[in-house]
Copies of this chain bind each other. A is one copy, B any other.
């Protein structure tokens, strides 16, 4: 087994940066994490920030680096134009863009866009997690990636055939903190164990359900029945997730299961809501998947650096 670094892998999102040095067999030799996300940097600072982390890891000056995420957005380091759906994940590395300002070979992977009228959508970073899943052999599945902007992605034969961004986390924050519903939700926290959560999910799964015409019931219930804050928060979360799952149900394959990539409170709420909808979930580790996706891209971009594994 080699202990020499074959490549640096970089997950550069809006609010975080992760760097790994890996050997030719994907073994992790070193790792760095930092809050120097793309959202905090001007374009001219990316090269210096990456170099400082690579130096701290003892990377050789000629070690190539593969980058995924918002660093490739228009306002990032350099724009890596989107691949379009249907987007073959194993083909993404071909569209990688060379990043300037550093002596080493740095390639930024593209995001994916969908130009379907009315369902226009974009992603940057999630496609690399999915490339990790594909390199693990998972080529046909429905994925759900909970977050401020959750993604639902259909994979067919290793290609992203269709995807949707749902502003779930952001909508929950807006409704519970800024709208009139804040008067009933206060500091209440949504809990999958609260009866109001399950009731709301079931309610929202009804084919005649309409979210916007039911939101105000949270406030009215507080006024009429004196519902507590945890109940109101759980009801809001259940209505949002139930409506989202109802919309995504037609995309479930014959296995009626969803690959859930994430961790934390929101992912737990998704898992509980999916269970109530009769949908099986498989939990996947997003950090591990992005590293695997970056590794698969590195193998495609620099085959000569992976002699033992290259086909």
Contact = CB atoms under 8 A, between A and B. Distances in A.
Interface in A231-248: 240, 243-244, 246-248
Interface stretch (A47-55, A165-173, A278-286): A165-173
Contacts of A115: 224-225
A264 interface: no
Contacts of A244: 210, 212-213
Identical chains bound together, number = 2
Contacts of A302: none
A180 interface: yes
A243 B210 CA distance: 8
Contacts of A119: 214, 217
Contact of A167 (B165, B215, B225): B215
A68 interface: no
Contact of A216 (B166, B213, B248): B166
11 contacts: A114-B220, A115-B224, A118-B214, A121-B216, A165-B220, A166-B213, A171-B179, A174-B178, A210-B247, A211-B211, A211-B243
The 5 closest A-B pairs by CB, nearest first: A210-B247, A120-B220, A165-B216, A120-B221, A213-B247
